[in-house]
Structure 1
């Protein structure tokens, strides 16, 4: 029993000793460990050029163009700046600097579906509402379009922010030729009055009759004119013939 207790005490002592060593040798928050030594970190926008030694501190240099570091570090080179990929529906919102990566946002008509810190990494197009639906909530850079169905007696082609009531043809003095649906308005046309139809039915035969009468009158006149011309020609011929005979004798 005593041996068992002794083992437990020794184990606890070993653990405490290890934790003490770790606490003693752990680097400070603004330091990094390299080959058992704690060196001061470089500031954001810089990277390590030479590690520290017993006699010298860390030598830091600024990041190159299109690279960055956004926090104190012990890196030998800076991170490359990201790119806003247009194929993924992205565009640049804030350019990359030596101390911060580029910030991307969705293109117009797109919304973000994947994000890293404050930058969007992938976006897709807003959904389009179908005919018979209206846009309940337009899409935003970080949310899709929300659609809702039109109720009876209203319609939308899918691009409206609210469903519109069907046109009442009879109230406009028109005739409905196609009933309205949730996806389209009613179709109207001008009404044809009964009086106009009756008038046309009576007028057309009258016009035809008048044309026939006029044709007959004109034809009769032509016959009389031709007859008169023939008689006159015969009389004239006879007078001329008699005159010639009289002159001879």
Structure 2
């Protein structure tokens, strides 16, 4: 309002004194150029003196101001930022912050751009004076985020990346793919596994039989130990196995008459006979 009044005052002065002049105490003084102000008004003999504006001040037109105008401040809290900084001859120009748009042509305040939810994409991005325009993702596309800049993206085509499809995409999700098993690996496995079984089969069978024999031998030894019998060496004479000896047999036969036969039955049901031969003076052992 103050600026409007000053402008109207200047117009009245110009009408009285002519272009680029202003009236002061009956004297027509020369106006100060843009970027300056009146430091001293003119007198009858001396024209007006001007002084430059300081930082944060400006004058855009020839004027008779005693003070320069203050530069405009762009309020960050109102969604504004400086688009063009103030100079001595131009006022500040404000614009919307990143992600905001101006609600009027003079950009007195900014508003944040609308975001498109999952399932919708940006049809038209927001500008300095227009809000975002959203649209639902059409068939074959999706959007899985809340954004004011992202458009709907196409579903992944699994065949193009040499994978197979697991789940078809939706308006909110992409198609799910997975890698197919290599045919070469399958073929190699089909050949190698049977070969390994053929080679390993006989070896495993031999080891199983050997383990069975060892287990049986150990079981027999345990049974003999439980019955109080001690294992007999394989090369021990049968005479010792029955518990008999030649010396014992000879002693037991001293009281027997000549030509008599004595039978001794052992624990193993083995027996032998001894026949005295008076002609030979000795004994003959016969195992039955």
Among candidates 58, 61, 80, match of residue 68 of structure 1: 58
Show CA shifts across 1:202-222 (max 9, x none): xxxxxxxxxxxxxx9999767
- Rate the CA distance shift 1:24–1:50 in 2: closer, same or farther, 3 A: closer
TM-score (normalizing by structure 2): 0.52
Within-5 A mapping of 1:102-181: 102-116=92-106, 120-157=107-144, 160-165=150-155, 174=164, 176-177=166-167, 180-181=169-170
Shift of 1:46: 0.8
Structure-1 separation of matches of 2:84 and 2:109: 16
Give the corresponding residue for 1:226: 218
How well do the aligned residues superpose, as a CA RMSD in angstroms? Answer: 4.4
Q: How many residues align?
A: 197
In structure 1, distance between residues paired with 2:211 and 2:13: 133
Residue of structure 1 equivalent to 2:272: none
1:47, distance to aligned residue in structure 2 (A): 0.6
Q: Which has the larger radius of gyration?
A: 2
Q: CA deviation at 1:166?
A: 7.3
TM-score (structure 1 length as normaliser): 0.58
Stretch of structure 1 that moved more, 150-159 or 122-131:
150-159
Unmatched 5+ residue regions in structure 1?
1-21, 192-215
Larger relative contact order, structure 1 or 2 (CA cutoff 8 Å, min sep 6): 1
